[in-house]
Amino acid sequence: MNKIFSKRFLGFIRDGVAYSFSWFVILVLIIGLLSGQPDIGVDFLGKLLGFCVLAAIEFAAFFSDCFIANKGFMLRLNGFVALFLPTEIAFLYITGILTGAGTVPEWAIFVGIIIVLYLICVILDKTILRKQGQEYTTQLDKYKEKRKDESAN
Amino acid sequence: MKVSITENTGYDETSVEIHCRECDANVRKLQRHICSYDERFACSSEGGTVYVNAKDIFYFETIDNKTFLYTKDKVYEIQKRLYELEDTLSDKDFFRCSKAIIVNVTKIERLKPELTRNIMAVLSNGEVVVISRRYVKAFKKLIYLEELG
């Protein structure tokens, strides 16, 4: 692992852990306050931190260009989701949020959240970003034409 | 600026020497201009040397401290660092799109922004080069995308 590679990869993990851990703690606090249990145990925080580190490593593996270069967003997203799902399920069991086989509503909520988040990413990629890409390409073509004229003169 | 030409049949090749009071930005620009006049790059290829025209280059890439030059369907090793190439290449046709790559803008066929804020640049030979988010702003400025908002 060369220096630039490891610096970039570790930077992704550092940022990922910082963002995800902060947001999860805030979310857990909000849910705790709303349900009348505002305390967070040290044990839970430790498990949450471990989960965030694992999730950040998985995210960096697919999105940092250190392992997968020159690949599109959809391939990265699918790879990340495939790796992240087992991690997430393991976290739910380790923290006791899910026990045993779980109930149908519990799994329905879990799968529903995953599908909604996945669809948001896909829709953004396929609609807004595709349109933006067409605008960029049009502008690039204009620039190339301009350069061609300049070279000819 | 004084320009003089000295002819001598004893010279092996044409050389240009700049005499100046101080090597400022203008002198460097002049040097770049002279260097880019030839617009050919000497590359190593199977023990020999091949010269590649700048207009045939798709991109340069650094891998493990070695620099490679990519044409439509060939790859050559080149004995120059990316920062050295940046100085000699036309900054209107070639763009440093990431830490490891300088791409020929005229060879980009299609652009696709990503949620990660990178831009995927599809070249006319089908290869894909990533314009890293750190360089996206400069790229938009180059092709006047920023003016469109």
The CATH number of whichever domain residue B120 belongs to comes to: 2.40.50.1020
Name the DSSP letter for residue B130: E
Q: How confident is the model at residue A17 (pLDDT cuts 50, 70, 90)?
A: very high
Question: Chain B partners of A152 at a C-beta cutoff of 8 Å?
Answer: none
Answer whether residue B14 is part of any domain.
no
Indicate whether B121 pLDDT > 90: yes
**Nearest residue of A to residue B128, measured between CA atoms:** A70
Mean residue pLDDT of chain B comes to 86
Give the count of beta carbons closer than 10 Å to the beta carbon of residue A133: 19
Write the DSSP assignment of A15-83 as a string of letters: HHHHHHHHHHHHHHHHHHHHTT-----HHHHHHHHHHHHHHHHHHHHHHSSSSS-S--HHHHHHHHHHH
Judge: B143–A121 Cβ closer than 8 Å, yes or no: no
Indicate whether A153 pLDDT > 70: no
Answer whether residue B7 is part of any domain.
no
Answer whether residue B30 is part of any domain.
yes
Answer whether residue B4 is part of any domain.
no
- How far is the C-alpha of B94 from the C-alpha of B108, rounded, in Å? 11
- How far is the C-alpha of B63 from the C-alpha of B81, rounded, in Å? 11
Give the model's pLDDT for residue A18: 94
Question: Chain B partners of A137 at a C-beta cutoff of 8 Å?
Answer: 109-111
- Least Cα separation, residue B37 to chain A (angstroms): 13
B2 sits in which H/E element: none
**Nearest residue of B to residue A133, measured between CA atoms:** B112
Residue-range domain boundaries for chain A? 1-100, 101-153
Q: How confident is the model at residue B57 (pLDDT cuts 50, 70, 90)?
A: very high
CB B114 within 8 A of CB B133: no
Give the model's pLDDT for residue B143: 87
Give the count of beta carbons closer than 10 Å to the beta carbon of residue B22: 6
Give the position of tokens 């988010």: B133
Give mean pLDDT, residues B64-69: 89
Give the model's pLDDT for residue B109: 95
Tens digits of per-residue pLDDT, B3-50?
888 888 888 878 888 999 998 888 887 876 676 666 778 887 777 788
Tens digits of per-residue pLDDT, A105-150?
888 888 899 899 999 988 888 888 889 999 999 999 999 998 888 7
Give the model's pLDDT for residue B34: 74
- Least Cα separation, residue A94 to chain B (angstroms): 31
- Coil, helix or strand for B80? coil
Answer whether residue B19 is part of any domain.
no
Give the model's pLDDT for residue A4: 57
Judge: A139–B110 Cβ closer than 8 Å, yes or no: no
Q: How confident is the model at residue B146 (pLDDT cuts 50, 70, 90)?
A: low
Write the DSSP assignment of B87-125 as a string of letters: HHS-TTTEEE-SSSEEEEGGGEEEEEE-TTS-EEEEETT
Tens digits of per-residue pLDDT, B30-40?
876 676 666 77
**Nearest residue of A to residue B62, measured between CA atoms:** A4
- How far is the C-alpha of B86 from the C-alpha of A81, rounded, in Å? 39
Name the DSSP letter for residue B70: E
Give the model's pLDDT for residue A140: 93
User: Exposure string (b/e) for A1-10, b if CB count within 10 Å is 16 or more?
Assistant: eeeeeeeebe
Residue B95 half-sphere exposure toward CB, CA atoms < 13 A: 24
B142 near A CB under 8 A: yes
Answer whether residue B2 is part of any domain.
no
Answer whether residue B3 is part of any domain.
no
Range of the domain at B45: 25-148
Tens digits of per-residue pLDDT, A56-71?
999 988 887 778 776 7
Mean residue pLDDT of chain A comes to 86
- How many folded domains does chain B comprise? 1
B125 near A CB under 8 A: no
CB B27 within 8 A of CB B20: yes
Cα distances (Å, whole numbers) of residue B51 to B28, B31, B68: 24, 21, 13
Judge: B112–A130 Cβ closer than 8 Å, yes or no: yes
Give the model's pLDDT for residue B136: 93
B148 near A CB under 8 A: yes
A126, A136, A138: best to mutate for the B interface, most B CBs within 10 A: A136
Answer whether residue B115 is part of any domain.
yes
- CA B113 from centroid of its chain's CA atoms: 23
Question: Chain B partners of A69 at a C-beta cutoff of 8 Å?
Answer: 130
CA angle A92, A94, A96 (to 5 degrees): 65
Q: Which tokens belong to A140? A: 């690039």
Give mean pLDDT, residues B51-58: 89
